[in-house]
Chains A and B, each alone.
Chain A
Amino acid sequence: MLFHSYEFLLGFLPLAWGIFLLLKRQGLGRAAKCWLLLASLGFYGWWNPVFLLLILASIGGNYLFGRLLALDLPMRMLQLWTALFYNLGILGYFKYAGFLQQVFDQITGELHQPLAIILPLAISFYTFQQISYIVDTWRSREPEKDFVNYCLFIVFFPHLIAGPITHHSKIIPQFSNFYDRKLPLVDYAVGFSLLIIGLFKKVGIADNVGGYFVGTYDLLKHGTALSFYESWSVMTACALQIYFDYSGYADMAAGIGLLFGVRMPLNFFSPYKAISPAEFWRRWNITLMNFLRSYVYFPLGGSRYGRLRKYMASMSVMLVCGIWHGAGWNYIVWGALVGTILIINSLWDEFLRPKEVPPSTLRRRIGGRVLTYICYVIPLSIFMFPTLDIGWAMLRGMLGLNGFALPIHMLPRLGEFGVWLQGAGVTFAEAPASKGFLMMATLGAALAVLYLCPNTEQLFTAFNPTQNNIDKKLLTESVWRPTWQPTLKWAVVLAGMAAVSFMLMFQIREFFYFQF
């Protein structure tokens, strides 16, 4: 069940929340918790009930491993590795066995029947969460004893499907809120508002800009060489879609979490406003990057054992990040590319950057953001396509190797300016990936939202909508700085956004051929 479906918003959520509130008001905190667990399992099972068995086996196994690690028996390290293999084995089988089989076949020249393995929903998220729980329990010897708490920490439906990756120490203590009979109206007001903003980001912006990226794969597959302009247009559409989609989802998750009295960790903080690639990755998918930092980068030595080791750790983090996203060479190459960019960023910081940090001027900020954007979008062109050939075809266009011609359909609209451009040597040609001025206007509007508006954390900063440890100065970093208040004006604006989102959630795809 998707957050942006009518079934969820008008069926599942009101039911789950309504019964939860009833139980909470009656002082039945434990029952409220059990109900939430049941609802979350129902939410997961809606997609494919069979995989409930898998997630329950994963949860049960990890709970037992946690309890075992607390017993302080001999060979704790062996117990830890067994638990890790248990998690990675499940993940590896469902997510990577097919890919490994392909690689094996390519190396040996044999041809096996492809493994027909369905990837269980959210397996990467719940596996990583449990790995962090196991490692922390091994360190602290303090497992979660309440099985319901542990289950709910994993399957709590707002974060179950697409994160954020939550940490047990930050989520489980909040379950005690269920025992409080008082209804935190402010959380509900903020929660609904966040939910609406997230929904609008998804269906109002992401789905619209994403429409301009659809079809690119087919064009490239059939050998169309995209020009510099086309390549950057469609990859901008893609980059914007991914951001608004994922951050919209994170906002919805945070909002829904608040309805149940649980503050989610912050997952996005205006990554495109970063002025360096390293900063970008500190603002993008924050919980995943934190996980990788804690459980890959630091265990590999971090910056404690010299530069070379540090760069290797950085590269490993991004390779794991790539592989986590999916099984395919495109993800591995993407990880290597981003890792390389981060190492270059680090080398710059250490050797080339002036010792005295220059004042942050508008020109520097714009320059930094443009560079950061390029460093994000170029590897993305590899990430987004299932084969490296197609990724390379897109990259060729982005590097200008297919020419710099502008779309010919623009020429009549440009009038005298178009004639002047031609006189200045600008060429115009067929551009199948370009959708004209509407595309430019849509992407321009989305970019304006991205760079000029505050993010949701800034908008709701007075109400702590998520758990974050963001620098206070960054919370005011925005060209336009409105802040949310529970006022009539905000209620009308957000209700309007909700109504528009509800109208856009359902797109009827019709078949227009049969019209005689």
Chain B
Amino acid sequence: MPSLTRYLVTLGLVFAVLTVPVAVFNVRTDPFSVFSQLKAGPQPIQADTSTRMAKPYVMRVYHPDCLILGNSRAEVGYGAAELPGCQRPYNAAVANGHIYEARRHLQHALALGEVHQVLLALDLETFTSPELTAPGFSEPRLAVNAKGEAQLFPVGELVGLALGYDASQRSLKLRTQKPQLAAISANGDRNPESLQAIAVMNSSRDLEQRMNEQFDFIGKLLVTGPAFNLQDGRGAAAMAEYQKILALCAAHHVALRVVINPQHATLHDYLRHLGLQAAYLEWKHQLAATTAAAAATQDVQLWDFGRLNTLTTEKFELHQTGSVMTGYLEPSHFRTVIGNRALRQVYTGQSSGVDNFGERLTDASVGDDAGYVRSVAAWVAANPDADAAVARMAEKAQSQQN
């Protein structure tokens, strides 16, 4: 039946004619910065929304020996090059990264090569987030599954990136717009030039509005679901993830440094208004106790940069435009000028020269809760306008929860 053969051939040919050019266009444009990594080794990631997609592929070709894990604050605020003794340091932190994702990315890197140094950057949101993974995370993308069993290379995802509607739409947009600065450098850090451009751009906007956007999101991570505690629910699950990270590092002889991020005073005030100050302190106690127990058998240290000091209380005017904060992009994200100072203190013992900035926590040294509460109260008294703005944001987060 020649007509049947002709039908089948036509079907295949037309399908190929429609899909192959799309695939070629998308692979060449590489809107998610994935194909370029596989072709030429670690490359910058163009769009900040592609980091969760692209970083696991970078790790596949880069085989990092040192890692930074955490959320967007770690991605923005720490430089991978600051990790000492590393051949191929990589900042694998991703925006809104829950500690579960940190554990999965660590497993991924360990499956791909030797890792000997890990910096795990934490704040309360990495534990309170109601979802273990953020949109864009994909289990099959990683070299091993959650149980540590090897997984096949994610060919299906690459085909999707070549043929998919979303990829095509993004490619068209990229081809028709002006070239932008890459969001992420080849070592996983935020590109400093792009960050500076963003900081300047942000300075033209009302900072309270900017804070509102950030805190609105942070509020959802903090208060969505039942009241947070470490004994059950998501708190206990997150702490179990932390223990898994400790166990992984112990099993692979990885030197682990855990840091509590230098978050701005406004965020501490936000926790206070949300009624989470006690939970924050309990979280630190539990981290310290768990780490201290592990430190008896492995190379792990916990550092607290989350206290209030001259860096984390950087002043800003809510409605002022045109000025750029020096230590922060906005009150949620600290910059490398603070983050790298913290890393130098952790890794070289170099004093920061700033009082109350950076303290190694052991089980015994995490007792000054009253001092912490007093320092937040003092900041509130000295910054009534900022406190009032933070109170409004907290009220909004709680009303949304209700």
Contact surface of A with B, Cβ cutoff 8 Å = 5-7, 10-11, 185-186, 188-189, 192-193, 486-488, 490-492, 494-496, 498-499, 502-516
Q: Using Cβ atoms and an 8 Å threshold, which residues of chain B touch A192?
A: 8, 11
Complex Cα distance, B136 from A513, in Å, reads 12
Does B274 count as interface, using CB distance less than 8 angstroms? no
Task: Tell whether, in the assembled complex, residue A499 and residue B160 are in contact, meaning their CB atoms are under 8 Å apart.
Answer: no
Considering the chains assembled together, what is the distance between the CA atoms of A323 and B177 in angstroms?
A: 55
Known contacts A193-B11, A499-B18; 18 additional CB pairs below 8 A are A5-B156, A11-B156, A185-B1, A185-B5, A189-B7, A486-B7, A495-B12, A495-B15, A495-B18, A499-B14, A505-B160, A506-B163, A508-B32, A508-B160, A510-B49, A510-B50, A514-B95, A516-B198
**Contacting pair B14 A511 (CB below 8 A):** no
Report 8 cross-chain contacts, Cβ distance below 8 Å, ordered by A residue. A185-B8, A492-B10, A498-B11, A503-B164, A510-B53, A510-B135, A511-B95, A513-B95
Question: Chain B nearest CB: distance from A208 CB in Å?
Answer: 11
The one of A5, A490, A504, A516 in contact with B165, judged by C-beta atoms closer than 8 angstroms, is A504
* A-side contacts of B165, CB under 8 Å: 503-504, 506-507
Say whether A508 contacts B217, CB under 8 Å. no
Secondary structure dominating the interface of A: helix
Q: Is the CB of A506 within 8 A of B4?
A: no
Chain B contacts for A508, CB-based, 8 A: 32, 53, 136, 160-161, 164, 166-167
Query: B19: CB under 8 A from chain A?
Result: yes
Q: Which residues of A contact B155 (CB under 8 A)?
A: 6-7, 11
Residue of B nearest to A186 (CB): B4
B5 in contact with A495 (CB, 8 Å): no
A511 to B134, CA, bound (A): 7
Is B3 in the interface zone, CB < 8 Å from A? yes
Cα of A491 to Cα of B7 in the assembled complex, Å: 6
- Nearest A-chain residue to B216, judged by Cβ: A513
Nearest chain B CB to A319's CB is how many angstroms away? 35
Q: A509: which of B7, B13, B136, B168 is its contact (CB, 8 Å)? A: B136
The residue in A188, A494, A499 that gathers the most chain B C-beta atoms within 10 A of its C-beta is A499
A118 CB, min distance to chain B CBs, angstroms: 13
The verdict on B277 contacting chain A, using a C-beta distance below 8 Å, is no
Partner of A498, one of B6, B15, B164: B15
Q: How many angstroms from the CA of A181 to the CA of B52 in the assembled complex?
A: 50
Size of B's binding interface in residues, CB under 8 A: 46
Q: How far is the CA of A487 from the CA of B11 in the complex (A)?
A: 10
Shortest beta-carbon distance from B222 to chain A in Å: 14
A494's nearest neighbour on chain B, judged by CB, is B11
The minimal Cβ–Cβ distance linking B316 to chain A, given in whole angstroms, is: 16
B329 within 8 A of A: yes
Residues of B close to A505: CB separation below 8 A: 160, 163-164
Query: In whole angstroms, what is the CA distance A508 to B156 when docked?
Result: 13
A514 touches B8 (CB 8 A): no
A38 CA to B7 CA, complexed, in Å: 31
A-side contacts of B32, CB under 8 Å: 508
Q: Which of A10, A189, A511 contacts B52 (CB 8 A)?
A: A511
Q: A513 is contacted by which of B7, B12, B164, B217 (Cβ under 8 Å)?
A: B217
Select which of A491, A496, A514 is within 8 A of B48 by beta carbon: A514
Known contacts A487-B7, A491-B10; is-contact A511 B159 (Cβ 8 Å): no
Q: Closest B-chain residue to A487, C-beta based?
A: B7
- Residue contact A488 to B135, C-beta cutoff 8 Å: no
Is there a chain A Cβ closer than 8 Å to B201's Cβ?
Answer: yes
A514 and B159 contact, CB distance less than 8 A: no
B12, B136, B165 pick with most chain A CB within 10 angstroms: B165
A506-B164 in contact (CB<8A): yes
Nearest opposing residue in chain A for B19, CB measure: A499
The winner among A5, A189, A487, A508 for most chain B CB atoms within 10 A is A508
A81 to B90, CA, bound (A): 62
The answer to whether A502 touches B8, judged by C-beta atoms less than 8 angstroms apart, is no
Indicate if the CB atoms of A506 and B7 lie closer than 8 Å.
no
The 4 A-B pairs at the shortest CB distance, nearest first, are namely: A506-B160, A495-B14, A514-B95, A506-B164
Neighbour of B10 across the interface among A488, A498, A509, CB < 8 A: A488
Residues from chain B with Cβ under 8 Å of A5 in the complex: 156
Chain A residues with CB below 8 A from B161, complex form: 506, 508
Q: Does B22 contact A (CB under 8 A)?
A: yes
Task: Determine whether B91 belongs to the interface, using a CB cutoff of 8 Å to chain A.
Answer: no
Quick check: is B202 within 8 A (CB to CB) of the other chain?
Answer: yes
Across-interface contacts of B362 in A (CB, < 8 A): none
Contacts A486-B3, A503-B165 given; indicate if A491 touches B49 (C-beta within 8 A).
no
Choose one: A7, A499, A511; the contact of B96 (CB below 8 Å): A511
**Which residue of A7, A490, A516 is within 8 Å of B201 (Cβ)?**
A516
Contact B15 A499 (CB under 8 A): yes
Chain B positions within 8 Å of A512 at CB level: 49
User: Who on chain B is nearest to A490 by CB?
Assistant: B7
User: A186-B4, A491-B14, A495-B10 are contacts. A6–B198 as well, Cβ < 8 Å?
Assistant: no
Which of A193, A495, A504 has the largest count of B CB atoms less than 10 A from its CB?
A495
Closest to A513 in B: B217
B201 neighbours in A (Cβ, 8 Å): 516
0/1 interface trace, chain B 165-176, chain A, CB 8 Å (1 if under): 111100000000
A507 and B165 CA atoms in complex are apart in Å by 7
- Within 8 Å by CB of B163, from A11, A503, A516, lies A503
In the complex, chain B residues whose CB is within 8 Å of the CB of A7: 155-156
Assembly CA distance A504 to B217 (angstroms): 30
**Inter-chain contact A515/B48, CB cutoff 8 Å:** yes
Once the chains are docked, how many angstroms separate the CA of A146 from the CA of B303?
68
In the assembled complex, the Cα of A211 lies from the Cα of B49 at a distance in Å of 22
8 Å CB interface, B1-49 against A? 1, 3-8, 10-15, 18-19, 22, 32, 48-49
- Docked pose: A499 CA to B32 CA in angstroms: 21
Pair A511/B136 contact, Cβ less than 8 Å? yes
Query: In the complex, are the beta carbons of A503 and B168 less than 8 A apart?
Result: yes
* B contact residues around A515 at 8 Å (CB): 48-49
The smallest beta-carbon distance between A515 and chain B, in angstroms, is 6
With A503-B163, A504-B165, A514-B95 already in contact, the answer to whether A496 and B14 are too (CB < 8 A) is yes
| CB neighbours of B290 from chain A (8 A) | none
